[in-house]
Structure 1
Amino acid sequence: MTGPADQTATTSPAPAPAGAAPAGPRGAANRRGPFRAGERVQLTDERGRMNTVTLADEGEFHSHRGVLPHSELIGRPEGTVVENSAGFRYQALRPLLKDFVLSMPRGAAVVYPKDAGQIVTMADIFPGARVVEAGVGSGALSISLLRAVGDEGHLHSFERREEFADIARGNVETMFGGPHPAWRISIGDLAEELGEQEEPGSVDRVVLDMLAPWECLDAVATALAPGGVVICYVATVTQLSRTAEAMRADGRFTEPDASETMVRGWHVEGLAVRPDHRMVAHTGFLISARRLADGSERLAPKRRASKSEFSQEDLDAWTPVALGERDVSGKKLRRAGREALGLAERAARAGGGSTAGVLGDGPETAPQAPAGPAAEGEERERP
């Protein structure tokens, strides 16, 4: 364990200032009303190229096509079209969740929107649900889960590395304008900590995004209520196979269901309608099962002995190195964490919120992030 066993964000944002969007579900104020300083805004030019900027009172957006003062956007309604100093036009919109996830600071690969949407639907994440998540990474999936459970639900996220937790915390607070009342994040191993922090049979759903989810199935089965859902996101066929066999061997789950999702865009212009040449194909597999009542036996088609049988030697051949897993450097994680927490502080100021109390034993407000590397498709921004 690399840090305190539990770091819980419980501080609520301060009341919204006069003229701000009306109070509502967490994050709603940041999605409504005119643009405010501290918000991230997506600028799209006439050729469809997107640039993301964080608005500042004296800021400017610089590109090889001219300069656009941020004052041209602050106070204007969403959907405004503005011109820069050279006459080039941009349409300004708040980034959608899919845009934010793909451009936010990260220390690990994110769960893509197509998979996050499937997880929320296939696992039946409902408002008010008690959900456990393991493998927070950069917080992309956490944002989708928090939106699904709502302010009255409960999401308990477990992360082994505190550096990843800092990045996720900053990204979540940027999206929601401050700490989310339904979110609790703990530093530690799910297999060891879940039984200590959640009562048996008290959890509705469990989402595992980790290298070896089969190691946590005993703890998951104990925490899940009868009928509860466990869903795992894995990257390789080897992981998929081993997770499925571990679910079957455990005996407390229904027959596992596995799938992958591919998204193909289409070009639609007049009568020229055709599929795009590129698509978002394999990113990962989803495998899910439900918790049986204690004493019940799994019903599944009988399988005859075949090449599907495996030995312990087959299992021992699996290693993270064989999968090409690469460790993320501490320097990269710290830089992404500073950037994420800095964006969260700006978002809180824009929405009239506060980041107080979210950094554990550290200062009450997140440190200002230095200018980090631009996201893909993002041009240089000068505050």
Structure 2
Amino acid sequence: MTRRAAVAFLAFVVTACRATDSQPPPAGLITNAQRDAALASARVWHAPAIPINQANLGDNPANEGSPDTMEVSCRFSLQKVGGTTPKFYCTLDSGEIVKVKYGRWNPEPAGEVAATRLLHALGFPADRMYVTSSVRCWGCPPFPFTALECIERTGATRPCTIGASAARAVIFPGAVIERPLGGRKIEATPDQGWSWFELDRVEPARGGSSRAEIDALRLIAILLAHWDNKGPNQRLVCPGGQDRVDGSCAAALLMVQDLGATFGPLKIDLHNWRRVQMWDDGAACRVSMKALPFNGATFGTHRISEEGRQFALKLLRPLARSQLSALFTTSGVTRFDHVTGEGHDAEAWVTAFMAKIDQIALGGPCPSAAELTARGE
């Protein structure tokens, strides 16, 4: 290639890139710069409406008319689902479409119910999960998740849904219903979510959460052993009523949206959850998830500020054993078919939880948030 040709080629590339940058993003997506601005100003925590020591961790979310003893009736909705845990979408009589997660042998629904109830009680945004006695799905194929995977692979709806009939219902005992936290997803690419290392880009000066709140969230993620923390399992969201005229968000939220892989490396796995240490190095206030599956995924080694350690303790210490016992019992954690008998004992789970709070208390004292920020940590 001659010099003139090379210069012409580079000019073409630069022009093409500029043209691409100037083009609006696809519908439903925003530019990287817009996402960066939302991330910088996002919050991870708000003071809970109910004092933590009064939070009811044993019932479904309030004011939804969904007691955990009720059977829910719905109609199968042919919508794509992701992930590996069995699930499908279903339309309620009201017209609302909800996600149903099922399978008595599946540990994720119980773990997600427990984790989301805990986060909500502590003030961290989370989806709403509902325990049911059963879900009666009209028009469901016998194995809906398998059928949906089949459709995704082949595009052949009828062969993949053999056995489904609008006049016949399939019952899923103990299924869990998920209602997402309301609001618009903020993403520059589909299913982008956010990664834990991006929390370093939140700026309190621009309205974002403080270092104390972010470090407390990190500690609670380790307490839960939220090891499947790839980007799509978290969500950057603009709550209803917070959209500005220019398309930006007045009060963006950073939330964890998929908490099924929690409470141990094998999911609601008491024996191994108990062995997950809160600190990689307590004296240095260093945390890590590298001992968990995926080598920590997007949650790298990080140092916790003293403000963050104290804030986590301020949130966790008001929890009573009775609250936690109700949490592990009613979420289905103790009903799951555990390998060991102690997995059915709510008090064993509570004791393990309380031990993790004690580990947080025994760490440090940690460097101040200002010190760590000044050192780029």
| TM-score of the aligned structures, taking structure 2 as reference length | 0.24
| Structure with the largest fraction of helix | 2
- Larger relative contact order (CA 8 Å, sep ≥ 6): 1
| Structure with the largest fraction of strand | 1
| TM-score of the aligned structures, taking structure 1 as reference length | 0.23
